[in-house]
Amino acid sequence: MSIGKLKIRSSILLLAFITAGISVLWAQTRQGAPGEKISGHQAAYAKSFGSHFQTSDRCVACHNGISTPAGEDISIGVHWRTSMMANAGRDPYWIAGVRRETIDHPTAAAAIQDECTICHMPMMRYESKLAGREGEAFAHFPPGRNTLADRLAEDGVSCSVCHQITSENLGKRESFVGGFKIDTTKPPGERHEYGPFGVDKGRTTIMRSSSTFQPTEAKQVIRSSELCATCHTLLTQALDAQGQVIGELPEQVPYQEWLHSNYRDATSCQDCHMPKVQEDVPITSVFSEPHPGFSRHTFVGGNFFMQRLLNLYRNDPAVMAPPEDLDSAANRTIAHLQSEAAKLAIKGLEMRNGRLEAEISVENLGGHKLPTAYPSRHVWLHVTVRDRNGRAFFESGALHPDGSIEGNDNDADATRFEPHYTEITRSDQVEIYEAILSDAAGRVTTGLLSGLRFIKDNRLLPHGFDKRTAEKDVAVHGEAEMDPDFTGGGDTIKYSVAVAGGEGPFQVEAELWYQPIAYRWAMNLNPYDAAEPKRFVSYYEAAASGSGVMLARATAVSNGQITTATDCATSRPRAAVRRKDAF
C-alpha cells in the first residue's frame, strides 16, 4: 500500500476513533465479558477483562503512513507487523515447543502454558492473571477466532505492552521472565503510555480519544535495555518426571551478557535492534511535528528463517503482514546479521612438515554472545582447502539441504555433540559455537524444562567480556573455558591439513554460518505425536535448505597473498551440499 493511501486511510480511521472515543471510554470502565470482573486489590474502579490493553489496530491508524524526507517508509505498524514481536503468538516453532513440554511434563501442563504465554501472548496472559486465571496457549492457536482473549493473544507483543511498562523493578531479578509492571490502578482514559517524546495537549486529546491512553514522555524507560530484559531474560525452572522443580536454567540471558561487556555504557538494545532515523521525522501521519532520534520499529534480530516460514505457511497462523513486507523484513534481518554480527580473518597461512596450517579468527561485533538467547541457535565455521586447480581436498562444516551440518555429531546422533576445538585436523571435526543442554542424568537434551545445565557453551563472547569473572548465568562451559584464544571479542582456531599429493599454491576459504533453528532442535520434535510438533517439522523439512545464512567470509592463498571479504550482502555463498548417501 502506498504512503499516500495509508495517510488517507489513517485520516478516515482517526475521525472514526475520535467520534467513538467517549463511547469507548465509557464502555471499557463499565463492561466486561460475563463473569470476568476482576477484584484487583489496588484498584478503585471495577476492572474488566481486556480493559488494560488495546490491540495494535487502535495505534497504527495514526502511526502508519509516515516517511523520512528522503522518502523511506518508516511506518511503525508496517514495520512492527513483520517482526517476531508482532508474530510471537503465531510462532509455529514456539507452539510446537510448548506442546512438547506439556507431553514431557503432563502434570505441569497448565503451569507450562501459563509460563510460556507470559511473553508470547502477554496481553491475554496479563489480563488472565488479573482475572485470577492462568494463561492458555493452545486455546488461542492457531489464530483466527474472534473473542477478545483471542485478539489479545494473536497480537503478540503489541504497542500497549511495551509502552505501558513502568520503571518499577526494571533491571532487578523480579522483573525478568515477563515480570514487567503496568499501572492497573487507573481506569481507561487515565492510564499512561510512555514514549521518548513530549506530546502537547491537543495531540494528547487525539490519542486518548483513539486509544484511551494518555501519552507521557519517559525516554529513560522506553529506551532502556532493562525494559527489553523483562521478556528477554528467561530463567527456566527444570522439572523432574513428576513435574517438581529440581533446578533453574539460564535459558536466555542476552541482557546479562550485555552487562558483562564493554557495550553496557555505550550501546543499548534499542540502539542496535531499533536503529534511529538520522533526520527529524514525524511520528504520526496526522498533525505531527518532526522529531529527532526516531527509532525504527523494525526490531531486527536473528530469526530470518521464522519470518520466511511465516510467509510460506501464512494461512495456518493467520499472518497479517503482506507477503512482500515479510519478505523485505527477512532480507532486512539477513542484511543486519551480515553487517553487524561478525568478522572473519585468516591471520596466518604456511606450509609445515607436509601440512597446510592456518589460523582463523572470528570476531563478535555485537553486545552479547553470538548467537544469543534461544539455545536452538548456533554459528559454525565452514572451511575448505583447494589446490591450484580448484579441487577441494579438505572440507569441514558443509551445510546439507536438510539443514544438518556434515561432521556435526549432534546432527548425526542426538546423544552426542561436537566439542570446542583449539585445532582441527580432520574433515569430520567442526567448530560450532553453541549451547548444549543436559538433563539431571547428564544426557544431552533439547527439552528446555528437562535441561538442568549447560555442558557446552562456547558462544562467541562480546568485547569486554571476561570469562574468568563472569557470573554463573553467563559462564562459559566446556573446553572453551580453558582455551586461551577464546576471549572477550571472539576466538582464534588453528586448522592443520595434510596436503600430500596436492599442487600449490593452496587456497583456504573460511565462512561463518548461522542457523536460528539447528537441525537437531527441529528433528527432536519429530517423535511427538501431536499436531503442533508435526506441523512444524513438516515446515522445517520443506524449507531446510534456507535454514542457514553466511555471516562472514575470508580467503587466503598459501603464497602469502591473503584476501578477505566480510560483506556477505554482495558475496555469493554456495548452495548447501548433498550427502553422498542421500537420494
Burial (CB < 10 A; 0-12, 13-18, 19+), residue 67, is middle
β-bridge partners, 384: 395, 509
Single-letter code of the amino acid located at 319: V
β-bridge partners, 249: 236
Q: What does the pLDDT read at residue 46?
A: 53
In terms of domains, do 170 and 311 share one?
Answer: yes
In terms of domains, do 417 and 314 share one?
Answer: no
| Assigned domain for 100 exists | yes
In terms of domains, do 308 and 408 share one?
Answer: no
In terms of domains, do 434 and 312 share one?
Answer: no
In terms of domains, do 112 and 143 share one?
Answer: yes
| Assigned domain for 577 exists | no
In terms of domains, do 306 and 438 share one?
Answer: no
Q: What does the pLDDT read at residue 580?
A: 29
In whole angstroms, give the CA distance from residue 398 to residue 287: 55
Burial 156-168 (b: 16+ CB within 10 A, else e): bbbbbbbbbbeee
In terms of domains, do 104 and 63 share one?
Answer: yes
User: Along the 583 residues of the chain, how does pLDDT read in single tens digits?
Assistant: 444 444 444 444 444 444 444 343 333 433 333 334 433 333 444 568 989 999 999 999 899 999 999 999 999 999 999 999 999 999 999 999 999 999 999 999 999 999 999 999 999 999 999 999 999 999 999 987 789 999 999 999 999 999 999 999 999 999 999 999 999 999 988 999 999 999 999 889 989 988 999 999 999 999 999 999 999 999 999 999 999 999 999 999 999 999 999 999 999 999 999 999 999 999 999 888 999 999 999 999 999 999 999 999 999 999 999 999 999 999 999 999 999 999 999 988 999 988 999 999 999 999 999 999 999 999 999 999 999 999 998 999 999 999 999 999 999 999 999 999 999 999 999 999 999 999 999 999 999 999 999 999 999 999 999 999 999 999 999 999 999 999 999 999 999 999 988 888 999 999 999 999 999 999 999 999 999 999 999 999 999 999 999 999 999 998 745 555 444 544 433 444 333 233 2
Q: What does the pLDDT read at residue 329?
A: 98
- Cis upstream peptide for 371 (omega within 30°): yes
**Overall number of domains in the chain:** 2
| Assigned domain for 55 exists | yes
Single-letter code of the amino acid located at 31: Q
In terms of domains, do 423 and 544 share one?
Answer: yes
Domain range enclosing 150: 3-224+268-322
In whole angstroms, give the CA distance from residue 141 to residue 136: 9
In terms of domains, do 192 and 43 share one?
Answer: yes
| Assigned domain for 257 exists | no
Please give the C-alpha separations between residue 207 and each of 29, 30, 242, 284, in angstroms, as whole numbers. 18, 21, 50, 11
In terms of domains, do 458 and 315 share one?
Answer: no
Q: What does the pLDDT read at residue 501?
A: 81
| Assigned domain for 511 exists | yes
| Assigned domain for 234 exists | no
| Assigned domain for 64 exists | yes
| Assigned domain for 454 exists | yes
In terms of domains, do 379 and 456 share one?
Answer: yes
In terms of domains, do 417 and 273 share one?
Answer: no
β-bridge partners, 351: 356
**Cβ neighbours of residue 451 under 8 Å, at least 6 residues apart?**
236, 238, 249, 251, 437, 438, 439, 445
Q: Where are the beta strands (DSSP E) in 431-498?
A: 432-433, 435-438, 444-445, 453-457, 486-487, 490-498
Q: What does the pLDDT read at residue 12?
A: 45
In whole angstroms, give the CA distance from residue 390 to residue 515: 28
